[in-house]
Chain A
Amino acid sequence: MFKKTSLAAGVAAFATLFVAGGPAVADADQVDYTAMTPHELAEYLIFEANDGGGFNLSQEMQEGGTARDRMQQDELQEACSIIGDGKPDADTMNAIRAAAAESIVYPEGGIQLGDWERGRELAWSGFGYRVGHNYDDHTTREVGGTCYNCHQFAMDRTGGTVGPGLTGYGKTRGSGEAILKYAYDMIYNPHVYFPCTHMPRFGASGFLDEQAIADIMAYMFDPESPVNE
């Protein structure tokens, strides 16, 4: 459970919902919304209603596939979609932790710090994997980490407060093996420590590549970095 669900499996599961048990009616006018569970109706509104779905699902995505694929949930997203923003039961939380641990791929030769100056720009940049306006294919601008949306790092730029402040990160924690691994894990797949966290899985999702993670980590740990001033 909670291994990275293949796209095909997600599509198959969805098809089952509507072909086997759900209201598999082709004509939208004949679909009775009140006969569905809220969850079934939500899925129907996204993927089927309004003659093809409530969203622009045909748009091609940077990671391949279309917006339809991107709207499909994997197991973690499904388990962590809890009304009221609560947490799943303990068994599910443990399964999420275990799957997250399994997802993490470490660089050959161990965790390295890259270029903190590039990492600084990546931590600031909110560019990448956008749909719709300001759509990008990443040929002109590289994918950023959007880190500043939620975190404060160096005080020369205003960060968000949704996540904890990371000012002086390396200076206060050192750069030993354990803390480097922890930071790497948190960027790669934070659900290993905080199941159903709001933080994206930047490594596991393919949002950031190995070099980008190394550079952002350098921004956090390098003594020369403004984060550690």
Chain B
Amino acid sequence: MFKKALLALPVALALGATAHAQAPEDVLQALIDKLPSDYLTQSEMNIMMMPDNPALWVGMDGEDLFHTPRGPNNVSMEACDFGKGPGVLEGAYVELPRYFEDTGKVMDLETRIVHCMTEVQGFAADDPAVTTRHGSGSDHMQIQTYIAMQSNGMEWNNPLDHPLEKAMRDAGEVLFARRAGMSDFNCYACHGQTGKQVRASRLPDASVGEEWTKAISWPAFRVGHDHVRSSQHRVRGCYFQMRQAGMLAGSDASIALISYWTDVGRGQPAILPDMKR
């Protein structure tokens, strides 16, 4: 812990320098300067802690994992295409979910990593490296965080040119509005008004771009969980709160919803990795 803290500054500089000059906290600060928002400024401590965001360390572990030859095929993930060509990560994440020719499917970051682990590296589908999706110690969260960080400060811009990309985005819009379950909730129940809170938690309004980009900036370190969490984890949490069925990891329903929420954030800069309460 202490050793890691000493390393924080060079790490932030090194990671920032590879892709872009802005640090995540600067991206957030620019949004706050643009728009006074209780959601964006909800925790001064979190903003203060962002230069030492534990997610940065998780991303560093992910960098090692990404570049190390692994799996039965003993190849690194550099052979994987995340949408901008094999091994190209800069700006790849803000253009996900997208259609991939090789699978004929719209995929988000998590499902694409699964694809690379199984199809390129040769891991069995039931290998813990593939099936363990949660927690800062998981391969998934480490690799996701590393890849996502290469899009920090860039604008959300998931492509909608392919008919399947458009179909998934539009279905996601329907899902966002779809009320069901014992509480009649849909996503608007929490994300349809500005400046509201559930208990002590400030809520992001989907119609306010500056708030929404932070809302969808995952992976993020969730202070209350003491773990880095993913978009998939957030979606599942929302359905739990709505008392609807548990969303299956990487299902097309989850990708549709993430396609829509990314489209809603279009043009706003991503904060990667983020830190949330």
Contacts and interface: CB of A to CB of B under 8 A. Distances in A.
Contact of A150 (B172, B174, B198): B198
Interface string B234-257: 001001100111111001111010
Interface string B155-179: 0000000011011101111111111
Contacts of A39: 174
Interface residues of B, number: 48
Contacts of B245: 55-57, 59, 67-68, 70-71, 131
Interface stretch (B20-28, B41-49, B61-69, B182-190): B182-190
B173 A83 contact: yes
B175 A42 contact: yes
Q: What 4 A-B pairs are tightest by C-beta distance, nearest first?
A: A54-B253, A54-B251, A67-B245, A55-B245
B181 interface: yes
Given A55-B251, A131-B245, A161 B178 contact: no
A72 B180 CA distance: 7
Contacts of B180: 70-73, 77
Given A55-B245, A162-B193, A205 B184 contact: yes
Interface residues of A, number: 53
A92 interface: no
B247 A54 contact: yes
B274 to A, nearest CB: 23
Contact of A160 (B170, B198, B244): B198
Contacts of B131: none
Interface in A122-175: 129-133, 146, 148-150, 158-162
A123 to B, nearest CB: 12
Contact of A73 (B179, B182, B252): B179
Q: Which of B171, B173, B236 has the most A CB atoms < 10 Å from its CB?
A: B171
Contact of B246 (A46, A56, A84, A201): A56
A149 B171 contact: no
Contact of B253 (A45, A131, A198): A45
24 contacts: A33-B168, A38-B170, A41-B256, A42-B178, A49-B251, A53-B253, A54-B251, A54-B252, A55-B251, A56-B248, A57-B245, A68-B245, A70-B181, A70-B182, A70-B243, A70-B244, A71-B180, A132-B236, A149-B198, A159-B199, A160-B198, A162-B193, A205-B183, A206-B182
Nearest to A40: B171
A81 B251 contact: no
Contact of B244 (A49, A71, A150, A198): A71
Interface in A50-109: 50, 53-57, 59, 63, 67-68, 70-73, 76-78, 80-85
A160 B198 CA distance: 4
A131 B240 contact: yes
A2 interface: no
A161 B186 contact: no
A38 B184 contact: no
A36 interface: yes
B184 A83 contact: no
B16 interface: no
A201 B179 CA distance: 12
Contacts of A80: 179, 184
B1 interface: no
Interface string B191-218: 0110111111001000000000000000
B4 to A, nearest CB: 30
A76 B256 CA distance: 24
B48 to A, nearest CB: 23
A200 interface: yes
Nearest to A66: B245
